[in-house]
Amino acid sequence: MKLYRIDKLAKRDGAVVKKKHVLAASDKDAVQQASHSEDCPICEVLRDGQKVGSVL
């Protein structure tokens, strides 16, 4: 399991409104968790400070 951070954005490429940490087995799994979250109509998923995916 790896630690990922999900940043909820105000708008695409906008300011971070909320941050949340999740554990996931892979980058794909972390993005899938973000897409199912009620907090994330627009989110970025980061691992070790690097963007691995986004939900738009």
Q: State pLDDT tens for residues 9-55.
A: 999 889 999 999 999 999 999 999 999 998 889 999 999 999 999 99
Q: CA distances (Å), 52 to each of 28, 49, in order?
A: 9, 9
Q: Tell me what the mean pLDDT of segment 1-15 comes to.
A: 94
Answer for the pair 25, 37: CB distance below 8 angstroms, yes or no: no
Phi, psi angle pair for 27, to nearest 5°: -60, -45
What pTM does this model have? 0.89
What pLDDT shows up at residue 30?
97
The predicted pLDDT at position 39 comes to 84
Domain ranges of the chain: 2-55
